[in-house]
Amino acid sequence: IKAAREASSHAYVPYSNFPVGAALVTTDGKVYQGCNIENASFGLSNCAERTAIFKAVSEDHLEFSSLYIYGETAAPISPCGACRQVVSEFCNADMPVYLLSKTGEVKETSVGQLLPYSFKELE
């Protein structure tokens, strides 16, 4: 939780002013932090969850145990559709995902609950 909150402080959000942080934990306990990074061409922006996953994968880590997503919001936030698909690609359906708010509220879910009937399940 602390790593996800800390990651949000590095967000580059000059357009939305909506910082998000993520912390992806590997099965061997390594933590990869990610933040959202905006661009004036919004389609070229990248979310915190994908940043954390891409960092981990680029360093050859492919086995994950949990994901924490923090937003400066009153209630826990949920990943966008693109992030749900990327999370589904690299994480098992039963892996826990913790949605976090600035008030300390935590909602636990799983990859499979966030994206039922994913492309990966069709293999």
Residues identified as active-site: 49
Q: Distance between alpha carbon 78 and the CA centroid of its chain, in Å?
A: 9
Q: Indicate the annotated binding residues.
A: 47, 80, 83
Cα within 13 Å of Cα(103), Cβ side? 7
Task: Tell me 34's DSSP state.
Answer: E
CB-based contact 52:7 (threshold 8 Å): yes
E runs forming strands in the chain: 20-26, 31-35, 64-71, 96-100, 106-110
Q: Indicate the annotated binding residues for Zn(2+).
A: 47, 80, 83
